[in-house]
Chains A and B, each alone.
Chain A
Amino acid sequence: MRYVDEFRVPAAARELLREIDSLDERGTFMEVCGTHTMAISRAGLRPLLEPRIDLISGPGCPVCVTADTDIDRAIAVAKEPDVILTTFGDMMKVPGTEDSLASASARGARVRVVYSPLESLAIAGEEPGARVVFLGVGFETTAPAVAATMLEARRQAIGNFHVLSFHKLVPPALRALVALEDFEVDGFILPGHVSVIIGSDAYAFLPDEFSMPCVVTGFEVTDILQAILRLLKMRRSGAALEVEYSRAVKPAGNPKALEVMRRVFEPCDAQWRGLFTIPGSGLAIRPEFAAMDAGTWEVELPEPSGSAGCRCGEILCGRIKPMDCPFFGGRCTPDAPVGPCMVSSEGTCASYYLYSESEGPDDRGEGADLG
């Protein structure tokens, strides 16, 4: 596969690891994109970089940081008799207060997994008797696609297509994190595809206002290692914003996509699961598109349970490790997760869980894959 395979060069990765090692620097770096978390886990990078370099997963999985009350709303909408709820596959198993979309579907709610919001629009066209609702989740990578679909729905006068928007924005979340008192992270591995849309300039505040080093990074192992090398060098040369993923990211991003996104959505305050409400970090559907906004519907919601005791927020900010959370491995497991760190299959807690249950006294000799 062109422009994929050429970036998978094991020898280059080994050389980058060697260069990282020879710098003899320490650092704790946070990645804020679920796909980066996944890539790092899959490549087994953490054990190769420890103990000098610590990679922390930040609140970067938009699926996992969707508030349980938002999931409850999606489920309530799905249960409406004439509704077909369409969603990205990622959302199916995420637990709300009582239920998940998967279990609601098992109980008769009409829920369909789609790869693109355009498929949802097509379903609306095919099912004129149904109200088809698309569950909008994702950061700035995805919001323009949803916005474009809504514009298309308007253009084609498809009146039974609706959207529930739980989209979130990355820069406000970064700002909220960096401003935390005890936020002790030495640099950010910034999300490559969000940046394709918003542009690298959107992160200038990180070095400028907070002296925080950051690198806009691609998703191959070589991209991530290059970013780490650059972040380590910044420990000596000073905080800066660099773009490693130059083959896709421009300083101003994709103005057309941004314009489409802004035509349909406006910023609002949003609740991040396991964290707190971050001002201006969500996307709400503009009043002009209210007819398509399923968020305005009256639906019955369960009493929020308040997962009091969940310490995902502190894990996501890099303050504690999974084992420090009293729920870890007991009340909160991959099969019955409480917060986003366990909801995501590659989340910090889910990863620790997997590695801890697979370690045994005889495993010491296996070298690199010690978790």
Chain B
Amino acid sequence: MIEGRALTLAEVVTMAHGGGGTRMQDLLREMIFPALGGQTLEAAEDAALLEVPPGKLAFTTDSFVVKPLFFSGGDIGKLAVCGTVNDLAMVGARPLYLTLGLILEEGLPLDDLERVLASVAAAAEDASVRVVAGDIKVVEKGKADGLYVNTAGVGVVDPGTQVSITGALPGDSLIINGYVGDHGIAVLKDRGDFSFEFQLDSDCAPLAGLVSEMLIAGRVRALRDPTRGGLAAALKEMASSSHVSFVLDEPAIPVREEVRAVCEVLGLDPLYVANEGKLLAAVAPEDAPAVLEAMRSHPLGKDASVIGAAAAGKVGRVSLTGEMGSSRLLRMPSGEQLPRIC
């Protein structure tokens, strides 16, 4: 604790912290600016003035309401940075700047806020982005589940880079960068509702670095990060948007044993479970071996696998071929996947 600090970590967020007055200034000066750093933020202008390199501007927004705030392998802060960075990476952009909007619930321990801010800072550094603008609001106890985060992200797409969810072509190889279902099951474990005990971290990670290695290695035509709705939603969306069908080799989709076990017990399908550090890529088939190798040499792609291929055929149709050679059709998830007994 720094001498003379107006805040102490024993305190909690109060309505006054959002009031625009001295308490809010205390929060900014003693907690937010030190954590996130940077001249742009500390200049405290109403808007950030930024240099933008040449190329197309990529712009995205996202909101984060995860419960619990802190989970194995991350927290809402890390999630906010990675989620936003990944949206930019999926269009082939180099992420540059983020905004951070915080909606704090009255009563949130300042200690928790400090931990989240430290995570944001670490994740931003890891992803080579800067938080350049932000906002704080405080709402009454009972709202915001502790903390909600909203972000916007800006990046730039180098001229000559062409990645789009509409870009997959028949014959393209479909590649995933690792195990699916980790994030959703880690968070489920940490919510504690079902008394499961096991080791698993969320896969929350920033993917821009992996994507740029992939783009150098070969023609990556389409990308999608499978977040809510899982890999299934990403497959359906990409197949539809690209006007192709997909045929997947189900045994080739990597799923951890723990994820499989929890899903078996609760009647969940790992393909519909959320991820936060995964990407689905459609790659020109001739370039697939090179792209795969580039991925496997990167820490976030060491378990990368080819899981299927795009084909002509009924637009949006995604079929999974099982071990026996028979196949099933994948349907678009219609909302939250719930545990079942039937």
Specify whether A and B are partners.
Answer: yes
Q: Is the CB of B339 within 8 A of A113?
A: yes
* Interface CB pairs A-B, < 8 A, 6: A42-B322, A90-B338, A93-B335, A115-B265, A358-B314, A368-B327
Besides A89-B339, A359-B314, A371-B329, 6 other A-B contacts (C-beta < 8 A): A113-B338, A354-B329, A360-B313, A366-B247, A366-B327, A369-B326
Nearest CB of chain A from residue B338's CB, rounded to whole Å: 3
Closest to B327 in A: A369
Partner of A34, one of B260, B261, B342: B342
**Chain B: CB-nearest residue to A138:** B341
**Bound-complex Cα distance A355 to B328 (A):** 9
The 6 closest A-B pairs by CB, nearest first: A89-B338, A360-B314, A44-B326, A369-B327, A10-B323, A34-B342
Q: Does A258 contact B (CB under 8 A)?
A: no
Would B317 and A43 count as touching, CB distance under 8 A? no
A4 touches B313 (CB 8 A): no
- Determine if B317 and A363 form an interchain contact, defined as CB atoms under 8 angstroms apart: yes
A53 within 8 A of B: no
Is A92 on the interface with B (CB-CB < 8 A)? yes
Residues B313 and A89 in contact, CB atoms below 8 Å apart: no
A1/B340 in contact, CB under 8 A = no
* Contact residue among A115, A354, A368 (Cβ-Cβ distance under 8 Å from B325): A368
Residues of B within 8 A of A4 (CB): 264
What number of residue pairs across chains A and B have CB atoms under 8 A from each other? 100
Q: Which residues 23-57 in A have Cβ within 8 Å of B in the complex?
A: 34-35, 38, 41-45, 47-48
What is the interface of chain B mostly: helix, strand, loop, or mixed? loop
Interchain CB contact under 8 A, B341 and A90: yes
Instruction: Give the interface size bracket for A toward B.
Output: 35 or more
Residues B329 and A369 in contact, CB atoms below 8 Å apart: yes
Chain A residues in 8 Å Cβ range of B264: 1, 4
- Take A1-B257, A62-B342, A63-B342 as given contacts and tell me if A358 and B329 are in contact as well, using a CB distance cutoff of 8 Å: yes
Q: How far is the CA of A345 from the CA of B340 in the complex (A)?
A: 12
| Interface residue B324 (Cβ < 8 Å from any Cβ of A) | yes
Given A34-B342, A115-B266, also A363-B314 (CB < 8 A) = yes
Contact B328 A42 (CB under 8 A): yes
Q: Check A335–B334 contact: CB distance below 8 A.
A: yes
State the CA gap A368–B257 with chains docked (Å): 29
- Residues of A whose CB lies within 8 Å of any CB of B are 1, 4, 8, 10, 13-14, 34-35, 38, 41-45, 47-48, 61-63, 88-90, 92-93, 102, 113-116, 119, 138, 141-142, 221, 334-335, 344-345, 354-355, 358-360, 362-363, 366, 368-369, 371
- Name the distance in Å between A123's Cβ and chain B's nearest Cβ: 10
- Given A115-B194, A119-B193, A362-B314, CB of A88 within 8 Å of CB of B340: yes
Residue of A nearest to B313 (CB): A362
* A360 near B317: Cβ-Cβ < 8 Å: yes
Shortest CB–CB separation between residue A363 and chain B, in angstroms?
A: 6
Tell whether B29 is near chain A: CB-to-CB under 8 Å: no
- Determine if B252 is an interface residue (Cβ-Cβ < 8 Å): no
Question: Which one of B194, B322, B331 contacts A44 once the chains associate, using CB atoms below 8 Å?
Answer: B322
Check A61–B342 contact: CB distance below 8 A.
Answer: yes
B 43-101 contacts with A by CB, 8 A: none
Q: Mark B306-330, 1 if CB is under 8 A from A, else 0.
A: 0000001111110101111111110
How distant is A244 from chain B, measured CB to nearest CB, in Å?
18
Q: Which residues of B contact A38 (CB under 8 A)?
A: 342
- Find chain A residues with CB under 8 A from B261 CB: 1
**How far, in angstroms, from A120 to B260 measured CA to CA in the complex?**
25
Contact residue among A93, A119, A368 (Cβ-Cβ distance under 8 Å from B326): A368
The answer to whether A355 and B324 have CB atoms under 8 Å apart is no
Q: B334 to chain A: which residues have CB within 8 Å?
A: 334-335
* B326 cross-chain contacts in A, Cβ below 8 A: 43-45, 47-48, 368-369
